[in-house]
Amino acid sequence: MTATTDGSTGALPPRAAAATDSTTVPLPPAGAGSGTATAAERATARAVEHLLSRQDSRGWWKGDLETNVTMDAEDLLLRQFLGIQDERITRAAARFIRSQRRPDGTWATFRGGPAELSATIEAYVALKLAGDDPEAPHMAATSRWIREQGGIAGARVFTRIWLALFGWWKWDDLPELPPELMFLPKWFPLNIYDFGCWARQTIVPLSIVSALRPVRPAPFALDELHTDPARPNPPRPLAPALGWDGVFQRLDKALHRYRKFPVRPLRRAALDSAARWIIERQENDGSWGGIQPPAVYSVIALHLLGYDLDHPVLRAGLESLDRFAVWREDEPPGPGGGEGGPVRMVEACQSPVWDTCLATIALADAGVPADHPALVKAADWMLDEQILRSGDWAVRRPELPPGGWAFEFHNDNYPDIDDTAEVVLALKRVRHPDPGRLEAAVRRAARWTAGMQSRNGAWGAFDADNTSPFPNRLPFCDFGEVIDPPSADVTAHVVEMLAVLGRQHDPRARRGIEWLLGEQEANGGWFGRWGVNYLYGTGSVVPALVAAGIPASHPAVRRAVRWLESVQNDDGGWGEDLRSYRDPEWIGRGASTASQTAWALMALLAAGEREGKAVERGVAWLVETQRADGSWDEPEFTGTGFPWDFSINYHLYRQVFPVTALGRYVHGEPFAPGHLEA
């Protein structure tokens, strides 16, 4: 086994032993059975108290949403491009970027992950903007590693776009993205609604940027990041003529030729159409879709079209970007050196609706009374957040009345199916003083969610039938998922919602169940699209199937139980590394984490395994690793934006899911088959 420079290993980990410190709460000296139950009760009570203390006075919960340093680097690049640099922000952002640097001078996109070229390039450029000397040891080590990996030429398209904005890369050597895409009809391949909503919100403004090809004077050169500074833009290898990659490469060449001689009135109309599309989708808080990257590109695109920075649209957009920043005071110097002081981390998005519904479920399942003021206040806030107007989802479902919830504070254009299903599950646990209001909201949500079912019987996150095979083939789309096909975790949450509403025999629910049963992997688990990975998928699907009436003795449930038992770590917990998205040998393997242990326990408890050894050991692990304040540590990334390419550490996952699992262990399953609410 060879250790990497950041202390992680490139080989599969052994079943990990739990790390403890002086703040952990030990198990009582009692034996198994009642001793574990007593310890779990005490741990649940501490965790409930901690979670209640974190509720905002307005009713919501929100944990930090940590991704990787490209968010912070691109924020500094945006400020440089617009000429709105702020010394305090620059210094604080640089401190955070340095703090995430690995000892070998590189950056990863998740804790313990391998070095990633594009993230490392963007971090290096950001630190150089912040004044770090390229000859300093930490910077020289980084530039040397970048050259060894092929230099800037090896970076993804989005990184090279940022560099092209300053003349560090040639626009001619980037794939074309013409704004005339706006005019493709909705039935035509590669129209903007063939892309997932997050990609759509990014591609439309980038089509403006691509058409206008701006270059702002660079404050310095980046020759040290090229393998050959005299030939910084080496040609990309040609794809085979036969096959889709070759087809799309030839299409890109044709678009480059068209760019030289465009139909000018058509180009002008396309730019105007794209600008209108962007402005119409700006949220009330000034953001776009509640996500940082589309907001950044929308601000750049509109500014290039002549909107000055004091225009209300741009002013609101820039103010919204400041709200993505999380400040932490008095941090020590990071591995890259430099002075200590405040650090500034940029969130890719914010998750209050998701965090609030999960916290409500957790507290209710942990025994908090259904009419507790905290739960009623949370329900009131969620009810106020229901979206009652149509968004882009209506392109595929024009006759469907609205009624969903989004992930963020402000995102009325893009409610999502996953949040909506979980909000309904949360609301059904609350005894609200106005039950009519609550039930009306639930009915609207259930109608909208059921109506978003895709043709194959399953559900995606934001759109129905967003499954075109073409967007991922575009040379422009070399990073992450750009479509939104149905997934097992989202479908499971919808099936569970329908079951809790007494609709487990509805044809839509039955089709969803059939799809889930057909998606089970040979190992017994389910793929996790929005969480890492098979532990998340399996922890979502098994409770849903059982709630919908699938007996615990069903072969699919028994296979899932056997798989979960087989991947339990020696310390009693469960963990799964993000490398499982690329390497099957990592499936179910990784250091134990609080959230992933909870997911496994939620599945096992739903399958009737409360008295089993695996459950007892998993509960004991949660008890042993709980901190004195009732919380858990979890530096690992267990959330997923794009499988492998974009990972998330939801800072509230380490709390809400253990509370849910412990609560169900102590109090039993909340919705047992045969006791589902009508």
pLDDT in tens, 500-511: 999 999 999 999
Task: Tell me whether residue 244 is in a domain.
Answer: no
Tens-place pLDDT, residues 409-444: 999 999 999 999 999 999 999 999 999 999 999 999
CB 587 within 8 A of CB 576: yes
Residue 359 falls in which region: left (phi positive, over 0), alpha (psi -120 to 50) or beta: alpha
Using alpha carbons only, what angle is made at residue 183 by residues 180 and 188, rounded to the nearest 5 degrees?
Answer: 110
Same domain, 73 and 157: yes
Q: Helices 373-385 and 352-365 sit at what angle, rounded to 10 degrees? A: 150
CB 525 within 8 A of CB 587: yes
Same domain, 342 and 379: no
Task: Tell me whether residue 677 is in a domain.
Answer: no
CB 355 within 8 A of CB 648: no
Using alpha carbons only, what angle is made at residue 301 by residues 393 and 347, rounded to the nearest 5 degrees?
Answer: 65
pLDDT band at 19 (very low <50, low <70, confident <90, very high): very low
Tokens of 307: 């909107």
Confidence (pLDDT) at 9: 44
Read off the DSSP letter of residue 550: -
pLDDT at residue 674 is higher than 90: no
Same domain, 197 and 301: yes
* Coil vs helix vs strand at 627: strand
Same domain, 82 and 49: no
Same domain, 276 and 190: yes
Same domain, 452 and 326: no
Confidence (pLDDT) at 676: 44
Using alpha carbons only, what angle is made at residue 251 by residues 248 and 257, rounded to the nearest 5 degrees?
Answer: 150
Number of domains making up the chain: 2
Task: Tell me whether residue 678 is in a domain.
Answer: no
Tokens of 388: 């009652």
Task: Report the candidate in 307, 79, 304 with the shortest Cα–Cα distance to residue 213.
Answer: 304
Same domain, 364 and 278: no
Confidence (pLDDT) at 479: 75
Confidence (pLDDT) at 98: 95
pLDDT at residue 15 is higher than 90: no
Cα–Cα distance, 648 to 529 (Å, whole number): 12
Task: Tell me whether residue 27 is in a domain.
Answer: no
- Residues acting as catalytic residues: 418
User: Sign of the CA dihedral 193, 197, 203, 206?
Assistant: positive
Q: Which helix (H) or strand (E) holds 346?
A: strand 341-346
pLDDT band at 16 (very low <50, low <70, confident <90, very high): very low
Span 533-558, average pLDDT: 97
What's the chain's length in residues? Answer: 678
In which domain, by residue range, is 217 found? 66-229+251-346
Task: Tell me whether residue 612 is in a domain.
Answer: yes
**What global pTM score does this model have?**
0.92
